[in-house]
Structure 1
Amino acid sequence: MRAILQTVLLGHDVILRCVAEPSPSGETLRSQWRSNDGSLLGFHDEGILAGYRGRYSYMRDGPDEKHLKIEKVTLDDDGMFECQMMRPGLRGFRSSAYITVVAPPSEVSLLNYRAGEAIQVNEGTTLNISCASGNAKPAAVLTWYVNGRMITEGVHRWSKHNLNRTVTSYAALIWKPTRVDHRRVLTCEASHPFIENPLRVNISLDVLYPSDPPRISIISGSSSAQAGDNVTLVCMTSGGNPPPNVTWFLNQRSIGTNFYYDYDTQETRNVYSMIVEADDNGAVYECRSSNRVGSEPLKENLRLSIAYAPLGVDVYGETATRYGRPVLVHCRSRLSNPASRIKWLVNGQLVRTSSESQHEQLTGTITLSNLTINPAEAVVSRHQIIVECVAENEKGRTIKQHTIRILISVQLDVLKQALVTAPPMEPRIYGMDGEALLEGEMLNLTCEAHGGNPLATLSWFRGVDKLKETRSTASGDTSQSTVSFVLDRTMNNQQVRCEAENGALDEPLVVTKMITVLFAPRRVVVRQDERTRRQMIAGEPTQLVCIVPSSNPAAEISWQFSSPDHPTTFRGENRLNKTSRENGGFEVENVLAFTPTLDMDGTDVKCIASHPLWSDQKATPFPLNVLYAPQMTVDGPITIVVNEGDSFKENLTVRANPPIATWRWRKNGIPFDNTVGAIFARGNGEFVYLIIYAARVTHITSPVMAAAGEEVVMECEVDGVPRINGMVKWLRGGTVIDTVSFDGQTRAVLRLNASQETSGAYTCLADNGVGTPNRTTAYLLVSRAPSITRHASLLRAAGPLGGRARLRCRAHAVPDATFHWSIQGDSGTIRYNSTKYSFYEVQLDHSTFESILWISGLDQFDYQRAVKCVAMNRLGEDAVHITVGPPTAPDVPIDLRLSNSSRSSLTLVWVPGFDGGSEQLFQLRYQVPGESVYHTINSTSPKVEIRGLKSAQLYEVAVRAVNARGAASEYSRPSMSVYTRDENGVDISAVSQKKDAFPRSLMVTFCVGGALLLIINCLLLCYMQRHQKRKKLQGRILEKTEMVRKTNNTSGDVRPVQMYGALTNTDSAYRPESANTNRSELAYEPPSEDDQSVRTMIEVNPNGYVQQVDTSTFYDPECLVEYGFNHIVRQNRLRGDAPTYANMPYPEPPTIDQMSVGTHSVGYSEGGTLTRATDVGPLSSPRRIHVPRIIDDGVAATYQGGLNNNGAAQIMSTFMQPGGVHTTALDYSHIDGDLV
């Protein structure tokens, strides 16, 4: 014999050959094989051996050969096998055969990432990604590639040896990708000497990186422009992933967010156009490029220079003086660019002054100039001096006048000589003689009080506010005070008063003036009159309403239609002209009644608010959408001359709004399609082009609000050609309402008695058989008290300590609902927004309202107190309590159902549960029954349409929720089974339900009855078999004893006989950590000796007595019998080392140790096979207890059962063990024992 060394691929067959030299004397050869675990396979002839699931068998080609064939090699077959041969009377001989089982890796996988997806990583950030290839023997070699290029730096490899003798290989790549690596593919490749093509797993890179700095350009080419010019700014940036948001900012405020990305050039542009005004001078327009939240945007700015004339000029100074006393007058130009120059005109004569200064402002330059006038030197006419200030630059000029009155002094010699206190005369205000001033003008007022001893002290007030920027002077017996301010609309109808006081007055003397400010409206609103139809139809009267919220004086309204030829102006009728609460102006509502024509379709009508006293006017355009029947572009019939036998073709253009759906030709009143054929002299006639268009709703009454018991009327009017009976219908929930009155063919009137049962949506259907039917929904809303929605997702809120929680309170009510929030334990309600609580309300639809309360800075007290929400209106109220807690996993979505199906798609909807305190998305999982692959779809909406499915196919669907914190719910159970429709569009599920119309109750009855009968039969069979076994056992023992006793054996030696039963541990089981464990702790009842056989080793003496044999000679200390409580150990009832799992960004991939590779497995099966063990220290039991040897706690905890191929242990061997006791030469004819 010679040694054999063989390498076998996992799952293949192998034959171990054993051949002995032929015997010259022809002695019988006894041969057997010993397996790799030391078990003797027995002296058998050819055929399958017991155990090992029938994989081991003997083969022989001659009497001196015995080959061992192993089918479907497993990892447990790895090791040394031994062939043992022996001839009677000669010494035995043996030879070894070695099997090396190799297992190629079945797959390579990524840890914590999904294959085929994209990894988002910031540029310059270290990426740590690992791949693994498990259960290979020898270990697989892992290599990383980027776009096919091998990476050697930053790769760390290690491996882990598994209990099934395989190796799991790992390779981690630590790498910093740059922007050039964007969209590249990372590949992990597993190579093995026993696979032809390496295994690969790919994942692509999504490298996030900023764009290039933005660049600004002006289409006109210069940053300088004039007021009124159209300036277009272009901001452009290149690159960036994701494409950046390019936004224009002015004064830290976003003004232009519309940008577009060119995928070819990878450039992002934002074009911003505007009409520049004076305010834009010096404005800094900033372009920002940002593509990552939280990162500092890239910026570029541009300063504009806008040239414009001075916006105005202000003159202020004393408005009265005495003859001979000089007067100082100040002139101040308003903003201009470039700076203005100031000229003075006194009574029309140019006066030069050297006092001029310029002051730079943000948007322009202000010029100041002072002029001193001596009335004695100036030409005085009518006791006044007229001063003009002119501010001008190359873009224009502006002028302002100032009048100075010359006063005649009066001597009060009597009062002066008396030297006593005296009150002043009543003060007077000059500078505003009842005239109205425009908004934006400068108002200069002078208050003057004569006499008084001492002279009066003057003060200015506007409303209740005291004006501080005043200038006071005293001359002779006169006190003067001057104030200047710019008028705005908020000052309209305000009082300005001057108070004069001195020591002789108990109360100040007061003089008042009313300020009247003229101002144009800031906005003009144009809408269609609610009392007319919603849509304009050519030839039918309609009305437009123009509303001016506030102006002074009342606006004069005119309407201008923009016509391609010439604009037309109309005057409407003022329906409302009243004082507005806004700035004391006038509110005007003007109604224009007109009949639209088809030429007006697509044009604009402007409402223009103007007044002769205003410097400008305000206009708002309103686009006209006029519906009209199709119109031919030719007038009257057209004449075509053709030769007999010829054909003709004529193109006709038709205008229509809405667009034409179809058309039809008629000849002499008879319709026809396509061509008529050749024209003959007798075939002339009149061809009519008939245009047909689909019906559509043109007017509907909605919404209608009413109290319960009221009668309401809902109207629906349609238009379309042809007009047929029944082209307009009212529907409720898809059912046609019969109790409808019709006005012709196009109008349907629905009368209802308002109640909670009749409230809701009603549909008006317009269908004349052409095109798609048109549906419009109207709502009947019946007044009702609020009813709060008590859905599980609304009754809870969550947020982390120190964070925020959002509470939602949703109620159904008509006509409205108001909400009040309060905290449990607090006496009052939350009335105002604060840093702790903030709330707001939204209207979701006509009858649904929602209030949202944010609680900031959460603490433990917020978790312990419920929040009460009360919804109320004039009809009643409803309340609900909402609890706040820490963040949790979201609830499982409920009510998963099929909404729609087709041949290749399924639409599913569900009701979301509580989100756990953060935004949630949904993962819909589906698979074909019997397949091992799941398909997953993510959605933020509780409605998903799955496309690309097979027709007439059954799918199992489940859904779960995952929130922003990574917590996930369980999948909905049980999975829902749905069918796609077949090729003919038939619902397979409905057909199968009709076929399975067998009564369910009868089916349940049959099943329960059958189960009971089966249980009874099993119990009877078990009882009978146990009773029969007991009798047969006793009979065989007696028979065997009697047979040995009668055997003729002159030597008197004892011959050993082995009898077998099932091995078991009859002692009490103990936990490893306790010597007092009772059977109840192991959760099973111990079987009695009557219930199972007991392994007994005996020797039978020829004289008939039974002698106990020392079993230690047959016992292998490295072998463990699997006791009855091993399944409890496997279920971790005695040990708490179950694994834990952490949250992952995606569903956790299977651990390498649990991967199924080929036909081999890591764990052990549920069968009662033998397991390697190690001894535990001595206990109080008379026998030793063996527990499994734990190689790796983390791995051992994952064992869920598997397969051990040690089919026959040494203690179960048919043959004498090495060192066993025997008293005579071996006689193989007597050595075979029985199983009893």
Structure 2
Amino acid sequence: MSPGTHAQQAFRTEPRNLTVRMGATAVLKCEVLRASGIVQWAKDGFLLGPQRSLPGFPRYSMIGRRGQYNLRIEDAQLDDDAFFECQAGQSERSEAIVSNPAFLTVQIPPSKLYFTTDVTAPWVAGKKYMVECVAPDAKPGADITLYKGESLSSATSFTTSGSKDKLLNTHAEVTVTALRSDNGRELTCQANNEAVFQPVVTTVTMNVYYPPEPPYIIGLDRDVVKAGSLLVLECVSHGGNPLGTLQWTKEGEVLSTTWGEQVVGQKSRNILRLKITPADNQAELSCESANIVSLSPQSITHKITIILFYFLYKMFTSATMKQIWITAVSMKITAKEEVFYRGQQMELQCLSGSSNPKSDISWKVGLLRFGVAEAPKKAEFGGVSVLSRLHLNLTSQHHNQKVICQAYSPVLEEGTSTFYQLNVLYPPEFSSEQATEVQVVEDDVATIPLMVSANPEVVSCIWLRRKQMLVKGEDIRHHWSDDHSLEIRNVTRKDGGLYTIKCENGEGVNETTVKLDVYYAPTVKAEKDPVYVNQGGRADLICVADANPIIPEMFSWKWLGEEEVEMGEETNENKSSLLTIHNVTRAHAGFYQCTASNGIALPGSVEMKLLVQFTPELRKGPQWRKVASRGDGTATAELVCQAEGIPPVEFTWEKKGMLIDLANPRYEERTARDGSFHTSTLRVVNVSATLDYAVFSCTARNSLGEDKLDIQLVSTTHPDPPSSFSLVSVTHDSVTLEWIPGFNGGLQQRYRIRYIWDQSVSFMYVDVVPPDTTTFTVTGLQSQTTYSFSVNALNSIGESGYADDGAVLTITTEAPSGLSTHLTVAFTVVFGVLLVLNSLGCFFGRKWKNRRDKTSTHDYLFHLRMGKCSSLSCLCSVPISLAQDSKEITLSNDVIVSSAPPHCSVFLFLFVCPVSSPFAHHLSLYLAPHSSLKTVTSTLHSYLLSHWLASCPSSLSLPFCLFPFVHQPNHQVLLLSLSGFSFLQHLPLPSVFFLH
């Protein structure tokens, strides 16, 4: 790069679009060449910060070696789905650059999979049903397949926007015709997208209702039976879901409605014991089977032909027969009504057929067994029948229940049963499992479920909020499902409260109330800001949070100042937190942060300011007690009085104990305020030594008290000595000192440090640069050597005595850490080169000395050491002429380049020797930050090279060394601008030298 060319930063690698699964780690690459500006990332245009750890983004960090600013995102989430840019900010050497945007796509698997239709409810064989399966909250949309044994190829799917940003809901629909063979078969929905390794699956078992097969009769092998015989007939019906109910009829009269079920064999059985009488001749005996989906009962019928003489024979011989044990041959339940009402007392009668011995009769309603039987009565076949009555106080739970009556013979260990199905009418009732309170996080979807039952089932329900009905379509956020459950999307805290659901059918009206509790993150406010407290008093800082829920330990306090202070006591109560600080000091003044976190989203915080009120305190250092000005009537003096205090401070001025009339045009007061600091400046116009050289008094007061300062207006003079001269730090070759300035005598003052050691023959002097600094480092000292230091002040009139009444600060430097052998050799080589250069300087000095009296300029010889040269052939002398009254000179690149051999490059400036001066008058060298010659005097770096400086980059063959020089105060000031030199890219040096 040619001198002066800017090092424009550029991208070596720009980020590219990237796709990752949720929870994975994403790395967006960015490499910047010649980075000189601040490099940082932007997410959707929001800057993340220049630190590599990226505070505030715990999953984000910048990684890589030098020049690499790769963005690492751990545990990728949906909110990371954005576009990112790598940016390098503008600097003094380069324009800002911004990379092409790179999109990070976070793939998210379906959160769950479910059927929207109630596929668990019974289906009816032969009917068609629409089945919908939904895979919500996926990215990208999911591929859904429905299976009923095999894939349902007729399924159609579509994708819609989800409830969250950039998430998708995928729906799949298919029309399924229920078959008998589908009963018990699994219906499977499977979803897959690029973010899952294995498909998400949900499965339900189909329940298909279908009618039973036609019944058949066992035990009626012949059409002819004998009168008096006992027929034991079994009616069997296979299949059906649910299994079929069976009943026997004879000539249309129901003989038996009692049957048994064999679930394993999938069949129903009804056993009929029929005593044949002559009246049964040619009677039609039928068995019917049906279930709830049968269009009409299926039956089988047989006609009975009886042999009468056998019956008569039995009648003639019955007296001689033994007693026969028989079980109840039939059971029948009767009721006065077919439809009942909730709260009604119902009576059912159960009559068992003839049995011998008496059968035990019991009732079963649900899991309860009870009932009372009356005294048995004689019945046919020599047995007895029993009548049992059941009384029930009906409730809604009795609806559709089967009331079963059972007869059991303990002797024969046999029994039979029959049932009666209840039909109870009742108004809407809410389930005991109906939610009374629903919690939801703000901005999510709230679902208020409804669990209601009624008979008849035709129910109309409405939702009310604050006694006002919610109407469909009035608020697009409100949605109703088929079961009347209420869904509220994008819930806000204003949606919280009580919701009433009112349901009605033909039997009546009922309602219930559900509380919607909306959780939201805290919003914190200060009860009072700022908070004022007197010094030494008690401060109460109170913050109040609007949050839900309010949890224990929700609040925390933080001091935002730099220095540590006692935070005080924290007291939390419900929605507020109190920070109490006892014995308040001025160190407690500043900002405090109250933070509340309840685990919902991000914490909320507020900053409040504590202002400590105290009596005004005036600044009273020596530099504040005197003001100097000429007393010839032409000058203007400014007396400055600065006080710190809260509440605001007011000033009054006195002269010789008398209050100054500010209406007098010779006096003008200006006040300023910066926080707790207040400044009053009294301008005295046309200062007269006779009238104005006096003591002025400044009084600062507020409601808490006052403070007073006497300021003496005097004539300009030499400065007062500094004070509190002390050591800051010491190393093996440097000492850092500090002091407090004294009165400057009314003129700009500067400082000079004087030091000496045991083996020196005279004092060494160092001028402090910049002139107004009060902390300075003296370098180039010898290790393990005791030095005596003093400091005084100078202005254009004269100089002060030495600080602290001429006190001497004795300091011993530390032992060195050790120099390498090759570095010592390098010092020796440089020292030899310096001697040669000194000789050459004096030779040219004598040669040009003759011209000094003939011209009004002084000639200077600049000795430049060229890069990586092994001989003096690279030594170039550049003569420069400087006018007698000139204070500045600029050594341009053109002069350097034209004087340098083509194979050399300037990398080191050694020294400057005035030709007009004897060689014994040595020079001191100062370093300053890069700036223009017009402003360099006020921006000098406080770093003095008065002895020798070693700074040896590994890229150079020789270290940078300066031989110890003795400062002479009568030397002229010389400014040398070396900006743009190639060696400045390698040496840790500024680009402007300030020389005496």
Shorter-chain TM-score range:
0.3 to 0.5
Q: Which has the higher contact order (CA 8 A, sep 6+)?
A: 1
Larger Rg, first or second structure (1 or 2): 2
TM-score by length of 2: 0.34
TM-score by length of 1: 0.28
